[in-house]
Chains A and B, each alone.
Chain A
Amino acid sequence: MDKSKLYDILRSLHADVDFEKEKGLVDNGILDSLDIVTLITEINDAYDVELPAEEILPENFNSADALWALIQRLEEE
């Protein structure tokens, strides 16, 4: 499992954001709904998971760490 792939995906969406520090990707309006869908498509593809719609909550998408935790949880199931 490679967390760096996640950072690559995030940076391809917004090159100018420091994803290691930012904790409010949704709350601060950095990721909008179109970004989130693109992000999910890329994550599903890269990690071979299925991120369902009910997991699209601000607390899962606010930071790279939260996202990483979500991906790991999905892989567990």
Chain B
Amino acid sequence: MSVRLKRILAAAAAIIVLVLIFAFLQALLVPKYMESTQEGAMIAEYYDEPVSHDVLFVGDCEVYECFIPSVLYQEYGITSYVRGSAQQLIWQSYYLLEEMLERESPKVVIYSVMALKYGTPQNEAYNRMTLDGMQWSKSKWNAIKASMTEGENMLSYIFPILRFHSRWSDLSSEDFTYLFSKDPVTYGGYLPQTGVVPKTSTREGDKLKDYRLPETSMAYLDKMLKLCRSHGAELVLLKSPTNSWKYWWYDAWDEQVFAWADEHQVGYYNLIPSDWEIGLDWDLDTYDGGIHLNLSGAEKLSSWFGKILKNDVELPDRRGQADTDDYYGKMAERLNQLKEKNQNEQD
């Protein structure tokens, strides 16, 4: 071997070693979101889905704490997935959807409208929880560009170690346990909360200076509709039945969404007035005083909403299909185990 070749090989070996060390350190230092703040792990779980879906939910907690795919499947044969994340802003929903539509062809896309109220990037930590879990694609790049708050930069999304390096002094056993593999935290994108804190306040939302929904949000809604139609999917808008003064859904907003839906011939379900019809009991079905639904609330809502969906949209009944039976059956099983475990803890 010539000296020159030897040198080139040595340099190549050195570069490979450095890249491996870098990759290892990066894997070690990024948050795992397994034991706490599980919301950070949700977005990445979509890529492990073994089946394709007829219904896709996108949005914030008003989807991922409300709709249980295994209930929709077992009661109505609807195959679905919830691609939600904490404070998912509409452009994030849009690019997540864009990414999913590259991979599968759903019949219905359901978007929860609460996040329309945000027209600008909000919070760096929530950005990370939504965006870091995405696999690299043009959609991810655009989602990051649309979401960055001041002081953030693209480089730290490409190499998350640049963002999370200072966790070195906070590393815990969680970081080592889940270094190379993660456990699922959701049930088809649904993240259960099992606590119960009754709703006591009837207070309404504070007055706002401006009741117009931001133009940016509405523009993304237009884009989302176009995207769905070009992929042959029907867009459906939805407001979950929760309404608390802290996260109030104003009538003025409702009117604007309604007008938009009417104009574009899109279905819009505001479920706030339907809570008694759904059978929600605000003493039992919320874990935080009426802001969000807990597991029992989500079960009632899913069961009720599945029927509506089945009535209003033409969806095939997939029950009897071996792969989906198996998949959603196991999901229901896991959820039952969680419920039993929770029951035992309470007793």
Q: Do chains A and B touch in the complex (CB under 8 A)?
A: no
* Chain A residues in the interface with B (C-beta under 8 A): none
